[in-house]
Amino acid sequence: MNSFTYQYPVRQHFGKGCAESAIKEEMKRLSGQNVLLAYGSGSLRRTGLYDKIVGWLNECGKHVTDFGGIMPNPTYAKVQEGARIVRRQNIDFILAVGGGSVIDCCKIISAQAMLDEDIWKMQYTKHQYPTEFIPMGAVVTASSTGAEQNNGAVITHEEKKLKQPLVGAYHSFAVLDSDLTKTLPMKQVISGAFDTLSHCMETYMGRPQTSNLSDEINEAVMRNVIQNLRALIANPDDDFARGELMWASAMAENGLLKLGKQTDFQCHMLEHAVGAYTDCNHGQGLAVIHPIFYRHLLDEGREKLARMAEQVWGVQKGTLEETAARGIDALEAFIKEVGLPTRWGEMGITDESILRAAADTCFLMLGCCKQFSRDELFEVLREGL
Ligand code: NZQ
Ligand code: ZN
């Protein structure tokens, strides 16, 4: 393993039905009165959770400012709108209630509200990063991204046609109440769980490739996601499976699996770049890319792919090449079994020029065991047509 220093700032409240007590406990700790309640495009009000949370905040003496309409794949314009409201209303605390999109948007609002300069320019032109933030917390209604666990956010800059990571704030706490995810459509549960699995695989396939404790824990998390997604599809009332998936998504992004590793995340960067042009669903895009990408890694990543095949997918052992290839076949079979796409056409993406633009603009990752050229990345994307 590589050397590391590990410190973790996010307090976790995990448990079925824990939301009310956890939110009230956190609000009582908070000295400021003005809370920005940030949420998505409508589900929070439809499910009735909005009224409950406003009631809990008011009981704790908080004044609530409303900030809804954060869209899936949040835009930079929405970040700027949020930052203006935070400044204008003298907001003391941002409460993000939603999935990865709401949580990511808020991380950057929290930083932008404290800055005079444009945070995108600051990070991508000056390579400087924010140090002061409006404090914030997250209530997760769609687990999978683990966005509540870290300070990275993925934001779509519509004018620039880029969907890229920005560094923002850590949440001081995360509420992980699996009951809040019960209204999430199964299609989103499935693409979300695949996102979690992808985070695990992208970490596992990073450097070093030799076996280590982080990767062995990772194997357990991957097995857990596969098993509990199957269980939840079979029975959406399986609260245990729902809770396991929620914690697995947190585990994949709370840093533990990444200790001592340089992560890969090339598939993610490709998917984000496609997303910048198509606004596609993140987990679905990853499902198309992963098996194809790993077939391009069969030489350089053979040993690790073979280990994953045995430890995670339980395939029959053959030569290293055979075992690795069987693991990728098992991954693809799982994607089909749970109803995720394996071709862009299933997501309505048929334009090859978009895939070329995505390959030409995506980040090239150093943690991958193979350094891909942009032409080969385009080939990976094109094979998905
Ligand atoms: O907007 P509303 O109306 O709330 O509807 C949302 C949205 O349409 C709905 N939803 C959420 N909770 C619900 C619910 N519907 C019913 N009941 C509930 N309890 O679900 C839809 C998808 O929500 P979204 O937040 O977009 O999904 P997800 O959590 O998958 O987040 C995706 C975003 O996170 C980024 C992705 O790129 C994408 O922009 N990621 C962030 C990461 C991070 N910060 O660490 C890592 C990931 O790799 C990922 O890139
Ligand atoms: Zn992801």
Percent above pLDDT 70 for the chain = 100
Distance between CA 54 and CA 41 in Å, rounded? Answer: 17
- Chain centre to alpha carbon of residue 370: 23
Q: 163 CA to middle of ligand 1, Å?
A: 15
What's the pLDDT tens digit per position in 32-57? Answer: 999 999 999 999 999 999 999 999 99
Which ligand has the nearest atom to the CA of 50?
1
User: Domain spans of the chain?
Assistant: 11-181, 186-382
Q: 193 CA to middle of ligand 2, Å?
A: 10
- Residue 12 has what pLDDT? 97
- pLDDT higher than threshold 90 for residue 272: yes
- pLDDT higher than threshold 90 for residue 140: yes
Angle between helical axes of 213-234 and 186-204 (0-180°, round to 10): 170
Q: 145 CA to middle of ligand 2, Å?
A: 5
Beta bridge partners of 136: 94
- Residue 384 has what pLDDT? 98
Q: 172 CA to middle of ligand 2, Å?
A: 22
Measured from the Cα of 142, ligand 1's closest atom is: 12
Mean pLDDT value across the chain:
97
Residue closest by Cα to atom 48 of ligand 1: 145
Q: Residues 250, 206, 269, 113: what is their CA dihedral angle, to the nearest 10 degrees?
A: 50
Beta bridge partners of 167: 152
Question: Ligand 1 — pocket residues by CB below 6 A?
Answer: 40-44, 47, 72-73, 98-102, 104, 141-142, 144-147, 150, 152-154, 180-181, 183-184, 188, 192, 195, 253, 268, 282
Residue closest by Cα to atom 38 of ligand 1: 73
Q: 141 CA to middle of ligand 1, Å?
A: 9
Rg (CA), the chain: 20
Q: 57 CA to middle of ligand 2, Å?
A: 31
> Which residues have their alpha-adjacent CB atom under 5 A from ion ligand 2?
195
- Mean pLDDT of the 1-19 span: 95
Measured from the Cα of 180, ligand 1's closest atom is: 19
Angle between helical axes of 352-361 and 374-382 (0-180°, round to 10): 150
- Residue 1 has what pLDDT? 87
- pLDDT higher than threshold 90 for residue 302: yes
Domain 186-382 in this protein, CATH class: mainly alpha
- Residue 211 has what pLDDT? 84
Residue closest by Cα to atom 46 of ligand 1: 145
- pLDDT higher than threshold 90 for residue 165: yes
Which single residue is written with the structure tokens 């090449």? 321
CATH of 11-181, one of 3.40.50.1970, 3.40.50.1980, 2.40.37.10, 3.40.50.1000: 3.40.50.1970
> Which of 94, 102, 108, 116 has the alpha carbon at shortest distance from 145?
102
- Residue 24 has what pLDDT? 98
Residue 324 in contact with residue 305, Cβ under 8 Å? yes
pTM attached to this predicted model: 0.97
Other beta carbons less than 10 A from residue 295's beta carbon: 16
Q: 106 CA to middle of ligand 1, Å?
A: 13
Which ligand has the nearest atom to the CA of 258?
1
> Which of 208, 211, 242, 209 has the alpha carbon at shortest distance from 225?
242
What DSSP element (H or E) covers 176? Answer: strand 173-176
- pLDDT higher than threshold 90 for residue 293: yes
| Cα dist from 90 to 71, 113, 342, whole Å | 24, 10, 47
- Helical residues (DSSP H) of the chain, grouped into ranges: 19-29, 43-47, 49-59, 76-88, 100-112, 119-124, 186-204, 213-234, 239-253, 266-278, 282-295, 302-311, 320-337, 352-361, 374-382
- Residue 69 has what pLDDT? 98
What's the pLDDT tens digit per position in 330-363? Answer: 999 999 999 999 999 999 999 999 999 999 999 9
What's the pLDDT tens digit per position in 306-323? Answer: 999 999 999 999 999 999
pLDDT band at 281 (very low <50, low <70, confident <90, very high): very high
- Mean pLDDT of the 247-271 span: 97
Percent above pLDDT 90 for the chain = 98
